[in-house]
């Protein structure tokens, strides 16, 4: 069963009422489970953990401590480093919250082979081994053939190659795995089907079900790691978080051989008229969401991008996050030639990898530049 078949039975408004009806007793019951060996946090417990009832200081302090302990137990005192490389800002979509919106008037750039290698040279000098390739959604400019070729170019120089591009079909993902694909991240933006149309008035991304079932197609293609998330600021974050938790549980049960990562991008200023968030997520609420996911699942990876402030990222290093980016540029060609093109969104924390590494080590943590090697791709091991 695809996730769209499961989610179709969810009533957005009723789910919200259920979350907001949770009481302190429900929160305490969930936290008691989190501290009991062998007990499992279920989706009803998760509702309590993301509810307003859990926002009281004593509960958040407990959640933070449990999140730290659970993360260290599974991941040690380590933080993985990765870097985004934007290959193209060409896009056919009209997403009202994104700087790559097709209606925004600026020069569209798709990197050539020479430009890609120029970017890679800079990133290797920075020490990176995990490369996240990104594009706008434009099959004509950056379709499967372009992506496959780009991966073949960069694969010899990096231990891990991940993608955050337009959703594709299972055979496409199987094809890219042969070129070294390790992980794919696809964010639903919002799980609210009715409101989804408002945020995506035109373009390929308007197809809600096609995007929603991308992770199922990734699972069928045996991709090693699958990422999911929602854009915080569009709709009620508590309901979005519950839908993400449902999605994660479905994927883990159905495609148990893959690993999973959740991300929590908050809206940032961008090129264009600038849609303003209608559901602003505070730092306190953001922390609550992260800690709730860690208590739900102690093995899921969680990333924190340069969208967030340096102070916030400093504080979250030891409280549940497992991977982080540093020194990021969100425009094609931005590493070799900074500030030459329009970025997808404004960077909030512009510290270099060296500065981030120093901060992380001062907290007693170790930076991991490489946590995977292609030789260990179990999906390719023959019985």
Looking at residue 271, what is its pLDDT?
47
- Region 155-168 average pLDDT: 96
Average pLDDT for the chain: 92
Question: Is the separation of the CB atoms in 162 and 185 below 8 Å?
Answer: yes
Please report, in angstroms and rounded to a whole number, the separation of the first and last CA atoms in the chain.
27
Q: Which 8-state DSSP code applies to residue 49?
A: H
Looking at residue 382, what is its pLDDT?
41
- pTM for this predicted structure: 0.93
Cα of 203 vs its chain's centroid, Å: 22
Q: Examine residue 379 and state whether it is found in any structural domain, yes or no.
A: no
pLDDT at 373 over 90: no
Q: Examine residue 383 and state whether it is found in any structural domain, yes or no.
A: no
Determine the structural domain holding residue 212 and report its residue range.
Answer: 3-373
pLDDT tens figures, 205-227: 999 999 999 999 999 999 999 99
Q: Examine residue 382 and state whether it is found in any structural domain, yes or no.
A: no
Query: How many domains would you assign to the chain?
Result: 1
Query: 26 CB contacts (<8 Å, ≥6 apart)?
Result: 44, 45, 47, 48, 51, 53
* CATH (domain of 47): 3.20.20.70
Backbone angles phi, psi at 304, to 5 degrees: -135, 120
Q: Examine residue 219 and state whether it is found in any structural domain, yes or no.
A: yes
Q: Examine residue 142 and state whether it is found in any structural domain, yes or no.
A: yes
Distances 162 to 120, 129, 253, 346 between C-alpha atoms, Å: 14, 11, 23, 22
Radius of gyration of the chain (CA): 20
Q: Examine residue 233 and state whether it is found in any structural domain, yes or no.
A: yes
Looking at residue 377, what is its pLDDT?
54
In percent, the amount of the chain with pLDDT more than 70 equals 93
pLDDT at 378 over 90: no
pLDDT at 275 over 70: no
Q: Identify the band that residue 276 occupies on the pLDDT scale cut at 50, 70 and 90.
A: confident
pLDDT at 115 over 60: yes
Q: Identify the band that residue 269 occupies on the pLDDT scale cut at 50, 70 and 90.
A: low
DSSP state string for 63-83: HHHHHHHHHHHHH-SEEEEEE
Question: Is the separation of the CB atoms in 124 and 187 below 8 Å?
Answer: no
The rounded distance, in Å, linking the Cα atoms of 79 and 66 is 18
Q: Examine residue 378 and state whether it is found in any structural domain, yes or no.
A: no
How many C-alpha atoms does 184 have within 13 Å on its Cβ side? 28
CA angle 135, 138, 139 (to 5 degrees): 110
Q: Examine residue 380 and state whether it is found in any structural domain, yes or no.
A: no
Looking at residue 103, what is its pLDDT?
84
């Amino acid at each position: 069963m695809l996730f769209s078949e499961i989610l179709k039975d969810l009533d957005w408004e009723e789910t919200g009422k259920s979350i907001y009806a949770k009481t302190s007793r429900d929160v305490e019951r969930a936290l008691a489970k989190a501290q009991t060996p062998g007990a499992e946090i279920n989706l009803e417990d998760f509702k309590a953990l993301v509810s307003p009832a859990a926002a009281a200081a004593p509960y958040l302090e407990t959640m933070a401590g449990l999140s730290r302990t659970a993360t260290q137990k599974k991941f040690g005192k380590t933080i993985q480093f990765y870097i985004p490389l934007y290959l193209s800002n060409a896009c056919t979509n009209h997403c009202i919250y994104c700087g790559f919106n097709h209606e925004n008037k600026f020069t569209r750039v798709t990197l050539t082979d020479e430009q890609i290698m120029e970017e890679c040279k800079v990133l290797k000098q920075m020490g990176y081994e995990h490369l996240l390739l990104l594009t706008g959604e434009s099959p004509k400019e950056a379709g499967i053939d372009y992506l496959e070729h780009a991966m073949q170019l960069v694969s010899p120089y990096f231990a891990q190659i991940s993608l955050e591009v337009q959703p594709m079909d299972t055979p496409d993902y199987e094809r890219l795995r042969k070129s070294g694909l390790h992980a794919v991240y696809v964010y639903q933006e919002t799980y609210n089907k009715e409101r989804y149309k408002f945020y995506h008035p035109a373009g390929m991304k308007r197809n809600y079900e096609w995007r929603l079932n991308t992770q199922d197609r990734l699972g069928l293609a045996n991709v090693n790691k699958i990422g999911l998330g929602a854009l915080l600021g569009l709709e009620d974050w508590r309901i979005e978080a519950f839908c993400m938790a449902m999605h994660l549980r479905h994927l883990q049960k159905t495609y148990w051989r893959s690993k999973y990562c959740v991300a929590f991008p908050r809206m940032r200023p961008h090129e264009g008229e600038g849609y303003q968030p209608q559901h602003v997520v505070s730092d306190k609420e953001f922390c609550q969401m992260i800690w709730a996911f860690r208590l739900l699942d102690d093995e899921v990876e969680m990333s924190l991008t340069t969208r967030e402030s340096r102070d916030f990222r400093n504080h979250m290093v030891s409280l549940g996050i497992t991977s982080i980016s540093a020194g990021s540029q969100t425009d094609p060609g931005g590493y070799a030639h900074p500030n030459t093109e329009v970025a997808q969104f404004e960077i909030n924390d512009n510290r270099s990898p060296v500065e981030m590494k120093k901060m992380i080590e001062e907290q007693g943590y170790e930076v991991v530049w490489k946590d995977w090697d292609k030789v260990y791709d179990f999906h390719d091991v023959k019985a």
